[in-house]
Structure 1
């Protein structure tokens, strides 16, 4: 088997983790990015833009596989005015390019809950990922779809750490599902290593499930500093946009509903929140709180 994987979005949170894991397992990696200078690994940087299908085709040609992930509305580093339609267009472009380049395995990172589009009103980012999933299927790509829940890494910076507290729009006593991004990377690498077992599969992924109050308590214990949980009122979130308010309402209601035990069967080394904090999370949170880097 050719050992080259083209990683789209290679300088983002998932892309960096996937690149590192693939390199560690002996794959050659082409790190596709609009800014090759940001690639700081043994991967081969390749300039490509998700808005430019031809650049993607050129970057993927000759690769065995492609890992595809797109930013969603509100993600850091997205262009001004980036919206749901842009996310879908970028995801479709990557899939079209993979088809044109003749790649033999396409792994798409979606989001848990995307398969429930027919039974409930989903948040806009979940709808966007599902639309890309449908296009991948319509193209007939030899594909694996992984649907992670929220990342534990969201709790390492200003998204959730503000004014001496853990603070989000989530109800304090409603269990929420999380997964470490490195565990998603393990499963991406597993899929590429075992195409006969993974092509054609779609898996929702979660590593832990606990309330925001319990998340704050675990973080406090790990860093040796009390960080209480404070819920951001939905009225404040609604000022940022109705879509953001609906996303929080959805998480406080039906939410992701992935199967943690099933994910652990796929990946026995799966980290729960406390294990992730002990491994890397606590150090990153401490660095952020002390004014350092959360990366």
Structure 2
């Protein structure tokens, strides 16, 4: 148990943020959770019942400076997870929320009257990428950002690095790979449907590093406790091609695996189409372009060796996360 510690959490109602809040409360932290007025706060309803930690909601957003100052002031840790992706926002909004929102959080930390503990910023593994020298990317493999989401996260990372390195702050950045688990409305149901549903006959080309949400939460807390100031840590899992991941899900659960690979050329062709539609309409209707389409067909594999060595980070195999994830999936999507 953690005694007399208080955490501020942005993005508390999101997939990863809500799981982090649950863990903090279970460990005895008092949690100040930031939520937009329109967000569904019922996801954490009752999360602190019977536990030592208390949950307090702060209603606002990452541009509400007064609320942010109250949120972080005097806390032992600030976990900044608030962000938005291209499926739910325009590129301009993605950049504003992810980059400028991070700037506002850092501003609030600097302005704290009672001090602020370590900030742990959750970025994305997408700002790193495998290269010709190795099929597995590590923290040093900083890549040219592709698309507004990666660009916004890369610029936010630079702000956090500056806060840690040049401004006397204490901050660590973590880079989860493809996170899998209950309450994820995008990647998880897509992956499970390819492994379970006879109506989903095709799987995607390429591969990715799949990590359970509980393992990522472990990594975030380890980064707070053991990470080096200004350091970056990839929090990844098993590196699997899509066809292998789909087969393992099907084998474990007795599902109907997708057996037809979507040709890479078909996905590549979708990029120029998306760009053309965007040019014709004056807005990005589809959240990708030709470079993003090409990236989606590659094997985006990562190593978490640094996190293992410095944080004691570990991850479980895909199958360990299937029971609770599939139970949630069948409740929500079937």
Shorter-chain TM-score tier: 0.7 to 0.9
Q: CA RMSD in A?
A: 3.1
Gapped runs of 5+ residues in structure 1? 291-295
Asked if 1:213 corresponds to 2:226, the answer is: no
Matched, 1:53 2:65: yes
TM-score with structure 1 length normalisation?
A: 0.81
Question: In the alignment, is residue 123 of structure 1 matched against residue 146 of structure 2?
Answer: yes
- Alignment pair present for 1:31 and 2:54: no
Q: Separation in 1 of the partners of 2:239 and 2:141?
A: 25
8 Å CA contact 2:161–2:230 kept in 1: the answer is no
More moved, 38-47 vs 209-218 = 38-47
Q: Structure 2: give runs of 5+ residues left out of the alignment.
A: 49-54, 130-139, 275-284
Q: Residues 94 and 268 of structure 1: is their aligned pair in 2 closer, same or farther, counting only changes over 3 Å?
A: closer
Task: Answer with 243-252 or 145-154: which moved more.
Answer: 243-252
Which of 66, 69, 72 aligns to 2:78? It is 66
Q: In 2, Cα distance between the equivalents of 1:65 and 1:268?
A: 19
How many residues were matched structurally? Answer: 282
Partner of 2:234: 204
Secondary structure at the aligned position of 1:161 is classed as: helix
TM-score for both structures, normalised by structure 2: 0.73
The 5 A counterparts of 1:1-295 are 3-35=5-37, 38=41, 39-40=44-45, 41-42=47-48, 43-76=55-88, 82-101=93-112, 102-114=115-127, 120-124=143-147, 125-139=149-163, 140=167, 141-153=169-181, 154-157=186-189, 161=193, 164-165=199-200, 170-171=204-205, 174-192=206-224, 194=225, 197-228=227-258, 230-231=261-262, 233-234=266-267, 235-236=269-270, 238-239=273-274, 240-241=285-286, 243-253=288-298, 255=300, 257-264=301-308, 266-267=311-312, 269-278=314-323, 280-290=324-334
Distance 1:236 1:251, change over 3 A: closer
Q: CA deviation at 1:111?
A: 1.0
Question: Cα distance 1:202–1:260, how it changes in 2: closer, same or farther (>3 A)?
Answer: closer
2:128–2:142 contact (8 Å) kept in structure 1: no
SS of the residue aligned with 1:177? strand
Q: Cα gap change, 1:289/1:228 in structure 2, threshold over 3 Å: closer, same or farther?
A: farther
Instruction: Report deviation, 1:261.
Output: 4.8
* Secondary structure of residue in 2 paired with 1:85: helix
Of the structure 1 ranges 35-44 and 7-16, higher mean CA displacement relative to structure 2 is found in 35-44
CA distance in 2, matches of 1:30, 1:56: 10
Cα deviation for residue 126 of structure 1 reads 2.1
Shift in alpha-carbon separation, 1:260–1:58, aligned structure 2, 3 A: closer
Deviation at 1:62, TM superposition (A): 1.9
Where 2:93 maps in the other structure, the secondary structure is coil
Secondary structure of 1:138's counterpart equals helix
Aligned to 1:293: none
Deviations 1:114-135 (A, max 9, x none): 2569964322222211111111
Question: Does the 8 A contact of 1:84 with 1:128 survive in 2?
Answer: yes
